[in-house]
Homo-oligomer: A and B are copies of this chain.
Amino acid sequence: MAESVNARKLKIAVDAMGGDYAPATVVEGALAALRESNNRFEIIFVGDEKKIKEELKKHESTGLNFSIVDAPQVIEMDDIPTIALRRKKNSSIVVGMKLHSDGEVDAFASAGNTGAVLIAATFILGRIEGISRPTIGSVLPTEAGTKSIMLDVGANVDCKPHHLLEFAIMGHIYSNMMLGQKNPKVALLNIGEEGTKGSEVILQTYRLLSESKLNFIGNVEGRDILLGKADVIVCDGFVGNIVLKFAESVLGVLKRRLRNYAVKNIFRKLTFGFLARGLRKALKEFDYQEYGGVPFLGVNGVAVIGHGSSSAVAIKNMIYRAEEMVQKKINQRIKEALKNYKLKTEV
């Protein structure tokens, strides 16, 4: 499994059929990762072999370290996950995840149907002992220049306080190991800073987090998310998903708005042309493509999920994230943290 590899090269299975522009962007991005990293790992394309080969023809791939595992069925982006997983046993998601659970690969990365990947990961890889709800986190840029992780962002709609505590612990590890925070500041997403705010679940979670050994800094509000006050932002998957999708939409809305404004006369057009590059640069880290993939934490393996509309660059970065999670033994750290961080009163 993911944690035990050392001598041999890492093997990363990539869902060749996952994403709005698959397999084109997946093949392009994966080859770019191999080229850029000097074949630091091996990529196993999982998907419709014929289509993958057609796609490969478009690129120079001599000497690159990849192979193909045929999985002719495709789980579409709008398939209902539970049904699709039952009916499409030969889909890239099921086949890829099984390769991982069989120990054939060290990680599985997909920009496909998120729900299907989450369910497949949970049932095929199984949960880490002590984790009742695996969670999907999203990495957000902050004004402070740091990266924070918000979790859950969609895997768990109804959460109990101990689920939220588990998210906090997993987020702590991810922030520490993957985002470089020495003593990650953990916060609860709430509608006020005071510990007396929020629903009963939120109030109880506040207490649990206060009693844990995590570096719990209290509540943060919606306005604090991008400021970098917290490194780990804990919420249920309903709130997290809505905020994340809203956030992703804002940049697009603003860009289109500025463009519409700009085209209205030639002077504006010129100024806008000058600024467009600057705008892109200034906002670069607010672009989710840059980080590539979000982690699905709490399962016995490494499953990284890319955005449905991933570009080749996003796919490349998603693969790097998968590699990094294996290298840094995130799951081993989570297991240790479950013992160490729960309650201050425990030893």
**What residues make up the interface of A, taking CB atoms closer than 8 Å to B?**
80, 143, 154, 157-158, 189, 191, 194, 197-200, 202, 221-227, 235, 237-239, 241-250, 253-254, 256-258, 260-262, 268, 271-272, 274-275, 278-279, 281-283, 286
Contacts and interface: CB of A to CB of B under 8 A. Distances in A.
Contact of A239 (B239, B250, B260): B239
Given A191-B154, A242-B243, A249 B237 contact: no
A202 B238 CA distance: 10
B283 A275 contact: no
Given A191-B242, A198-B157, A221-B242, A261 B278 contact: yes
B271 A246 contact: no
A84 to B, nearest CB: 14
Contacts of A271: 271, 274-275, 278
A244 B226 contact: no
Contacts of A226: 246, 249-250, 253
A143 B249 CA distance: 11
Given A272-B278, A283-B257, A157 B246 contact: no
A256 B158 contact: no
Q: Which of A202, A238, A248, A279 has the most chain B CB within a 10 Å cutoff?
A: A238
A14 B261 CA distance: 36
A263 to B, nearest CB: 11
Instruction: Enumerate the 10 nearest inter-chain pairs by beta-carbon distance, A residue then B residue, closest first.
Output: A222-B245, A261-B282, A222-B246, A222-B242, A223-B249, A223-B245, A191-B241, A271-B274, A275-B275, A226-B253
A342 to B, nearest CB: 26
A268 to B, nearest CB: 6
B245 A243 contact: no
Contacts of A242: 189, 191, 221-222, 235, 239, 243
A151 to B, nearest CB: 14
